[in-house]
Chains A and B, each alone.
Chain A
């Protein structure tokens, strides 16, 4: 447990026995964080389940106001970004710095596209008044028979909004990874931050995998 052992790698903190213990600890802590993330979203999923069980017909009708094509596009964009994130880690494991940076930049761009499509969806809903709670004012012919559609849109905005916030935070983290990798701070010897942010990014994808059918593809 050398404090100043000249043989130990520079990224090894003195309070870890070896690099593998440090790596496993980081990963375990990351999964503890993922657990809290799942439970954060769990509260919102429970809200969805309770209100859908109370208003089954309204959920089916209100979801028709959402654009399935935009939802599907975002699904494809996010799955592809998950692949590029995984490939960025694969590339750094093979010590291919250039490819790793290219894949990280691709992931960043896909995240931007995701938020761009989300922005188009949100602005349209703001224009027509398909908004949460008391702000709901949409009176189109396809919504006249709806009962409490503003509840659907409250849950829609809070769930996709919190998910979108995760995408935005992920973009910040990926931007930092691009910088660190380019600078040479992350190599095949030490790429723990990239792997941890990768796990976070895949969680964002994983949550969207449930949000997409629950909001865009109801019955």
Chain B
């Protein structure tokens, strides 16, 4: 099948070296406290690495673009999935329906036999009054 693209050996080696280098970078920056920017940077580096894998190792760069379209569609649906779910879970507190403060889901974990129940901020939750504003 002579029409197949054969990627030069050098390309593979450069991509692998870049991936290893970026892995080191992402570990290194994780030890620097940048606040909420840490996660943004970590995800940016991960996405650069993922793109290198997809375009070079998985040959998407040289493939018929229908394959890339399929891949991007999966990411698009992932985006829709996250967005719509977060529109729910991100705003439950506004309605006084925060499930994890009202009803901690940890009651059956073995170590809670000896620990007081707490809310998301670690403040103690009184088990007997948690349902008082139940609608």
A interface with B by C-beta (< 8 Å): 19-20, 23-24, 27-28, 31-32, 34-35, 38-39, 42-43, 45-46, 49-50, 53-55, 57-58, 68, 72, 75-76, 79-80, 82-83, 85-87, 90, 93-94, 129, 133-139, 144-145, 147-148, 150-151, 188-190, 195, 198-199, 202-203, 205-206, 209-210, 212-214, 217-219
Contact = CB atoms under 8 A, between A and B. Distances in A.
Given A86-B57, A90-B12, A213-B45, A20 B1 contact: yes
Contacts of A90: 6-7, 9, 12
B61 interface: no
B53 to A, nearest CB: 5
A136 B109 contact: yes
A133 B89 contact: no
B26 A217 contact: yes
Interface in B93-115: 100, 104-106, 108-111, 114-115
A112 to B, nearest CB: 19
Given A138-B111, A209-B49, A46 B81 contact: yes
Interface residues of B, number: 63
Contacts of A27: 63-64, 67
The majority secondary structure among interface residues of chain A is: helix
Contacts of A195: 59
Nearest first, the 4 A-B pairs at minimum CB distance are A217-B30, A38-B74, A83-B16, A213-B42
A53 B78 CA distance: 17
Given A82-B57, A90-B9, A136 B110 contact: yes
Contact of B26 (A32, A94, A136, A213): A213
A22 to B, nearest CB: 10
Interface of B: 1, 3-4, 6-7, 9, 12-13, 15-16, 19-20, 23, 26-27, 30, 33, 35, 38-39, 42-43, 45-46, 49-50, 53-54, 57-59, 63-64, 66-67, 70-71, 73-75, 77-78, 81-82, 85-86, 89-90, 100, 104-106, 108-111, 114-115, 118-122
B51 to A, nearest CB: 10
A136 B114 CA distance: 13
Contacts of A151: 105-106
Contacts of A87: 9, 12
Contacts of A20: 1, 3
Contacts of B35: 219
Nearest to A146: B122
A109 to B, nearest CB: 17
5 contacts: A27-B63, A38-B75, A49-B85, A90-B12, A150-B109
